[in-house]
Amino acid sequence: MSIRPIFVVAGVGNASGTGAAAARLFSKAGYRVALIARDQKSLQTLASKLSEDGGEAHPFAIPSYAPQDVRGAFTAIRKQWPKEQGNDIRVALWNTAAAVWKPFLEITDEEVKEGLEVNVAAAFAFSREVIKEFKSNELNELGKRGTLLFTGATAGIRGNVTTSAFAAGKFGERALSQSLAKEFGKDNIHVAHAIIDGPILTDRQRSRHDTEWQNDQNVRLDPESIAKAYVYLANQDRSAFTWELDLRPAHVKW
Ligand SMILES: NC(=O)c1ccc[n+]([C@@H]2O[C@H](COP(=O)([O-])OP(=O)(O)OC[C@H]3O[C@@H](n4cnc5c(N)ncnc54)[C@H](OP(=O)(O)O)[C@@H]3O)[C@@H](O)[C@H]2O)c1
Ligand SMILES: *[C@@H]1O[C@H](CO)[C@@H](O)[C@H](O)[C@H]1NC(C)=O
Ligand SMILES: *[C@@H]1O[C@H](CO)[C@@H](O)[C@H](O)[C@H]1NC(C)=O
């Protein structure tokens, strides 16, 4: 009789990374999946795959991560799965990031702007929609209304020689997540930030490394392994919420 909860993920790329892995695992865990990203074709392919595997997923393509476009995605989700019919958004993942890796003096005004607009302002817009949704939910069996997750990075806690623009954005994302965890904990809303402290095995990283690196689980993170941690966080009950965890492969120096 109960309607399956909805998992919303923003930032799916061409479906080789963390966003897509999380979509697959939450789908397996019984969630319906709302996919938000810019490329309609990749989203449609992933949604079809999840549906073939017994899940229910829908693509919600947006033209950009501008705040109004992010809000538009939530309007579309609500058209697809109306709240009045008992459809609750219970878990959301902000996974999108614009990565600028350049020495400080080479970074343009445009890149600074993009880093802050995508990594901070868009994360605010996404979080606002998610928190409003969660506030309208009843407490679930874990004693919470919802779980909002953020994919962070080493650059979210440490700047480095080519990360001035990127780190400014990722620090901002982390600051947002901590503030939300504090402000909405009293509403039984769980907010968690994951510091991904090492390279993730995405198609982009594959193209930069040899097969030995790709096959060595000691040196890079598997998107599926990160997604497992996200499911674990979503399953935490109100008496023991993690705000922040960090994940790194066994041999990464830290
Ligand atoms: N890859 C790594 O080695 C690594 C390491 C540590 C942390 N992280 C973090 O992991 C998250 C990404 O996960 P992933 O690497 O596995 O890739 P992913 O799941 O494929 O997602 C990355 C998303 O970021 C969006 N994106 C990329 N460049 C953008 C830009 N310039 N403007 C707007 N959006 C942009 C893309 O959105 P569309 O789908 O709309 O194209 C893409 O979906 C990020 O938060 C990143 O900081 C990554
Ligand atoms: C900082 O940058 C240097 C030079 O690119 C690199 O060797 C080092 O691993 C980086 N440190 C971290 C913590 O990412
Ligand atoms: C994703 O994009 C990379 C290039 O960035 C490409 O090599 C890879 O084949 C693409 N993967 C999929 C599943 O489309």
Asked whether 14 lines ligand 3 (CB < 6 A), one says yes
Q: How far apart are CA 95 and CA 177, in angstroms?
A: 13
* Residue 208 Cβ < 6 Å to ligand 3: no
pTM above 0.95, yes or no: yes
Q: What's the 52 CA to ligand 2 centre distance in angstroms?
A: 42
Q: Domain residues of the chain, as ranges?
A: 6-247
Per-residue pLDDT 10s for the chain (254 aa) are 468 999 999 999 889 999 999 999 999 999 999 999 999 999 999 999 999 999 999 999 999 999 999 999 999 999 999 999 999 999 999 999 999 999 999 999 999 999 999 999 999 999 999 999 999 999 999 999 999 999 999 999 999 999 999 999 999 999 999 999 999 999 999 999 999 999 999 999 999 999 999 999 999 999 999 999 999 999 999 999 999 999 999 999 88
Return the residue whose CA atom lies nearest to atom 9 of ligand 3. Answer: 203
What is the rounded distance in angstroms from the CA atom of residue 189 to the CA atom of residue 144? 6
Pocket flag, ligand 2, residue 103 (CB < 6 Å): no
Helix (H), strand (E), coil (C) string for 114-173:
HHHHHHHHHHHHHHHHHHHHHHCCCCCCCCCCEEEEEECCHHHCCCCCCCHHHHHHHHHH
Give nearest CA residue, ligand 2 atom 10: 160
Cβ-count burial 11-25 (b if 16+ within 10 Å, e if not): bbbbbbbbbbbbbbb
Q: Give me ligand 1 centre to Cα 238, in Å.
A: 30
**Which atom of ligand 1 is nearest the CA belonging to 42?**
39
Q: Which residues pair with 9 in a beta bridge?
A: 35, 93
Q: Which atom of ligand 1 is nearest to the CA of 95?
A: 45
What dotted CATH number matches 6-247?
3.40.50.720
CA of 137 to the centre of ligand 3 (A): 37
Of 203, 204, 206, the residue with max ligand 3 atoms within 8 A of its CB, to mutate for a pocket test, comes to: 203
Ligand nearest to the CA of 196: 1
